[in-house]
Chains A and B, each alone.
Chain A
Amino acid sequence: MLKKARYVNQDLCTGCGSCAEKCPSLVVDAYNVGLGWRKAIYKYFPQGIPSVFTIDAPNCRQLGQGKKCGVCAKVCQAKAIDYEQKDEVVEIEAGAVILATGYEVFDPSVIPEYGYDRIANVVTAMEFERLLSASGPTAGHLDRPSDIAMERELEELEKEHKKVSRQVKQLEEKCGKTSQEAAEMLKACAFIEGVDLQAWVDLAARAEQMEKRIAHLKEKASSFQTAKKIAFIQCVGSRDFRFNRFCSSYCCMHSVKEAMIANEHDSEVRSTIFCMDLRAVGRNFEEYKVRGGKQSNIQYIRGRVAEITEDEAHNPVVWYESTTSRQVVHEVFDMVVLATACIPSAGTPELARILEVELDQNGFFKTHPLAPLNTSRPGVFVCGCAQGPMDIPESVAQASSAAARAAEAVSVRKAVG
């Protein structure tokens, strides 16, 4: 196995976080599905095990960009930073192998009619989970991505504007003239010794443009509201002849959960869940779904969404037929959440090749109907989503099951017969 260098000594690091506080490099945070930032030295997520930090070398000034830094090593009281750490090849001998490599989330960009790439306020369920999370990029407030983007633009613009207007001021003070006067001089083809009049006038014009845009954005931002009306679209990439024919099992329930939690945070939130069948088959799930409808302002509509468009206020507009009322409707929402399919993780084919096990026609590790933990190779077992979509209780149960099988394989106490 290849154990990649962490550049942090795992045994010394106490997980205190001083390094990340001081690190100057900001990186887009994949854990928060690209919605937030982290540092080049980081913990993947706050409760991660082991509770130690790792340096993302390509994004690190010192390790990946050839610049001088070393701030983390300076502030680390445990002396745990080790820039010289190398990747390690580790060999382990085992009598049994358990595959618990999980799954990945389907990318809905391949469904153009849902506008995931075009429309800021159409998000995937995973992105919604991060927005909803108190430890996520918006501290649990359902800020609309279009609003977040505008606020970021505003921030950048204000920074830029500060710089530009400082430059303009310097010029004004140096020459003892206002920018207006400079523009008139330029028009009159006059000049000032050693001063680029054109550049000055251009700068001043740019500053003015920025001010206009900033004022416009500020006005917009003052009326920003968190999302109140949310649409959930089920079976995005699942039960679909174009992509995956299977059902991803857990997405109906997580949409109900997300709608209920959003309503808990803000009682004004109302949700509509667009589905074909609402699959609530686990213990207490049906009751939960019904409760959601009664107590949490959730409406269930049977119908596949045909298309999502966008209005000028960046609101997604959902076009659908409600099959039980047989009406074709379009409705404006604040945000649309796509319940994306559970697909085999990208490394699965390679892992299958290395371990010499078979995959099923959906790309998950293949198991026998009556031996759900066994792969096609004796001694190699699989549990959880690596073999097919399943929810947490089932995954946890399967983990124990795979352990039982593996224990049998390596058991010292042999039964007779």
Chain B
Amino acid sequence: MADEIRIGVFVCDCGSNIAGYLDVKELAEYAKTLPNVVFVRENLYTCSESGINEIKAAIKEQNLNRVVVASCTPRTHEPLFRGTCAEADLNPYLFEMVNIRDQCSWVHMQEREEGTNKAKDLIRMGVAKAALLEPQQDIQSEVDQRAMVLGGGISGMTAAMALANRGYEVTLVEKAPELGGLLLKLDKLAPADIDAPELARQQAELVRGNPNIKVYTGTTVEEVQGYIGHFKITVNTDGVQQQLPAGIIIVATGADVLRPVGLFGYDGERVINQLELEQRFRTGAFRAKHVVMIQCAGARIEERKYCSRICCMVAIKNAIEIKKRSPETTVHILYRDIQAYGVENEVLFQRAKELGVLFIKYDPARPPVVEAGRVVVHHELLGRDLDLPQDLVVLSTPLIAGEDNVKISKLLRVSLDANKFFLEGHVKLKPLDFATDGIYLCGNAHYPATVREAISQALGAASRASIPLAKGVMTVEPIVSTLVDEDACRGCGLCVALCPYGALEIVRTEKGRKVRVIPVACKGCGVCAATCYQHALTVNSYTDEQITQQISAFLSA
């Protein structure tokens, strides 16, 4: 920049939060001695109306072209001060914030002198960087207001309808020949005694009848290009490929039920899993006088550590169903813990006991042994072995990650957890979003869920997805990765592989393979810039030069 740099520094007392622990007067005096600083002001509260007005007045009267505020955390007040600069016709990205509260006064409350010296260092560094800041413009990107839902089970159908009912066009892709997912294979849902396949068919009818939803069954996803607001998904139906556009994607691809070959003598005939039991209910093939159910068959063990959440209640539901059909049939449930969590399930657990279902606790160190005609189990509470007669053993097996999860995670560039279920952006605060913008998650694809939970999550994912759809335009801060030296870029792709947000891609240019940044997807984390050994990439407002100058400024004390 040819013009003279004129920096205004505003040092905040923050009431007593800073002034009570640091010598703010000294900091203000010190700031005056720094290079390029032409104006310094100490404020009681820089964020107050009077403080804001002072900044605006100073920008105009002193012709400031950079502003530094030394106060609290940018997390709360950076947008405010940037806005203030903008109101005074100064580009908001010519503003730098120095945190001398959370990162200084608050952690050095008993060290006034050292704290003040540290604040001086921080201000000196902030001023050094401010001198090198360049004006930036917010990045705008239009959002394709169409949605894509992957998976046509209860989650996918619910999410699709939630968006369609608000007027958005939705494409629903399902790899099976018909909609319905796992519901089609179940018998009844407890406690309301709902017929599962019937529910699936009703929902499918609603989906097909909704003019805003286009359904593709027998269809798989082959390729996904683009980013939030601009996805292009290539699907394959019977060998025919098409490219479908969408602004957002919802992953509702469900999970599979484990068939525990090698465990407890599983053979699909005499030793079956709960899904197979429910199918026997439907076909009339259920006929047993002595049923033994074994919980945690293939779950909560070394090879598969998680608890599959729903299997205890599935077993209880099916045990009650058996007792309803033939009250004389003995039913034993061998368990480790009964996971009847929540408001409704204890009632069912109680009901099962009233109907004569017997619950036997076993120690995972001494699992039950299935033999012809009997199950031998060490009753943990009685302290002795029991010989239970059986003509049918039902294993409660966990839901396992869908076989396509790895493929889909690669196509979408989203994360999987250790068990290959899809991983949400934040376990507490973003349970339905992926870390990658524009892609959302619900149902069994995320983690085993009951039908009720799946419906709830699907609505939630639709809600999250509707935010960018409703806005129609995405505005992104320009603090993003930028290719500053195209010649230096060798197209090695290391940055692309490391980017957690799918914000980089390698493209063919006349100069060969080069990286291209997708600003809308970039979060400015800096991993790419730190990785690039050619220094071809840098992050706006955190350039190599700016950071180097900050370090020099620090060392020049």
Contact = CB atoms under 8 A, between A and B. Distances in A.
Nearest to A278: B337
B343 A389 contact: yes
B14 A249 contact: no
Contact of B461 (A18, A394, A400): A400
Interface string A233-276: 00000010000011101000000000000000000000000000
Contact of B459 (A283, A373, A414): A373
A404 B442 CA distance: 14
Interface string B451-485: 11101111111111010000000000000000000
B342 A326 contact: no
A3 to B, nearest CB: 23
Nearest to B380: A324
B72 to A, nearest CB: 11
Contacts of A405: 162, 459
Interface string B171-212: 000000000000000000101101000010000000001111
Consensus secondary structure, chain A interface: loop
B194 A411 contact: no
B103 interface: no
Interface string A384-407: 000011101110111111111101
Interface in A182-220: none
B51 to A, nearest CB: 9
A417 B339 CA distance: 41
A282 B430 CA distance: 15
A373 B456 contact: yes
A89 interface: no
Contact of B16 (A18, A245, A394, A401): A18
B306 to A, nearest CB: 5
B346 A239 contact: yes
B341 interface: yes
B447 A388 contact: no
Contact of A415 (B165, B347, B464): B165
B460 A401 contact: yes
A61 B15 CA distance: 24
B466 A279 contact: no
B532 interface: no
> Which range holds the interface residue count of chain A?
35 or more
Contacts of B192: 369-370
B553 interface: no
A306 interface: no
Given A324-B381, A400-B461, A408-B162, A369 B452 contact: yes
A286 interface: yes
Contact of B460 (A249, A389, A404, A415): A404
B427 interface: yes
Given A17-B15, A18-B15, A369-B194, A246 B346 contact: yes
B383 interface: yes
Interface in B299-344: 300, 305-307, 309, 337-344
B552 interface: no
Interface stretch (B40-48, B89-97, B131-139): B40-48
A398 B464 CA distance: 11
A64 B463 CA distance: 46
Nearest to B47: A14
Interface in B12-66: 14-17, 44-45, 47-48
A323 interface: yes
Contacts of A393: 427-428, 431
Contact of A372 (B17, B194, B456): B456
B44 A77 contact: yes
A16 B381 contact: no
Given A278-B337, A372-B456, A411-B167, A364 B343 contact: yes
A215 B346 CA distance: 54
Contact of A14 (B48, B305, B343, B460): B48
Given A279-B341, A282-B447, A372-B456, A408 B165 contact: yes
Nearest to B189: A369
B417 interface: yes
Contacts of B361: 302, 324
B466 A407 contact: yes
A396 B453 CA distance: 13
A246 B309 contact: no
B166 A411 contact: yes
Contacts of B15: 14, 16-18, 77
Nearest to B457: A397
Contacts of B162: 404-405, 408
Contact of B166 (A286, A396, A407): A407
A364 B305 CA distance: 34
B548 interface: no
A397 to B, nearest CB: 4
A370 B45 contact: no
A290 interface: yes
A362 interface: yes
B45 A78 contact: yes
Nearest to A381: B459
Contacts of A372: 452-453, 455-456
Given A14-B48, A286-B305, A370-B199, A396 B429 contact: yes
B539 interface: no
A413 B168 CA distance: 8
B350 interface: yes
Contacts of A14: 15, 45, 47-48
Nearest to A406: B463
Nearest to B192: A369
Contact of A290 (B305, B344, B430): B305
A212 to B, nearest CB: 37
B345 interface: yes
A88 interface: no
Contacts of B428: 392-393, 396
Contacts of B466: 404, 407
Contacts of A302: 361
A350 interface: no
A277 B337 contact: yes
B381 A407 contact: no
B164 interface: yes
Contacts of A408: 162, 165-166
A129 to B, nearest CB: 16
B452 A400 contact: no
B164 A388 contact: no
A97 interface: no
Contacts of A389: 342-343
A21 B466 CA distance: 45
Contacts of B464: 400
A287 interface: yes
A373 B456 CA distance: 7
A283 B447 CA distance: 7
B165 to A, nearest CB: 5
A81 to B, nearest CB: 15
A21 B305 CA distance: 51
Contacts of A287: 305-306
Contact of A388 (B342, B381, B383, B458): B342
Nearest to A410: B166
B16 A16 contact: yes
B460 A281 contact: no
Nearest to A285: B307
28 contacts: A14-B15, A14-B48, A16-B17, A17-B17, A247-B343, A247-B345, A277-B337, A277-B339, A279-B337, A284-B306, A285-B307, A286-B300, A290-B305, A326-B383, A362-B343, A369-B192, A370-B452, A394-B453, A396-B429, A397-B432, A397-B457, A400-B459, A400-B460, A401-B457, A405-B162, A411-B165, A411-B167, A413-B168
Interface of B: 14-17, 44-45, 47-48, 162, 164-168, 189, 191-192, 194, 199, 209-212, 300, 305-307, 309, 337-347, 350, 361, 363, 380-381, 383, 417, 421, 427-432, 446-447, 451-453, 455-464, 466
Given A78-B45, A398-B456, A400-B432, 10 more contacts: A245-B347, A245-B350, A279-B341, A283-B417, A401-B457, A407-B463, A408-B165, A411-B165, A415-B164, A417-B211
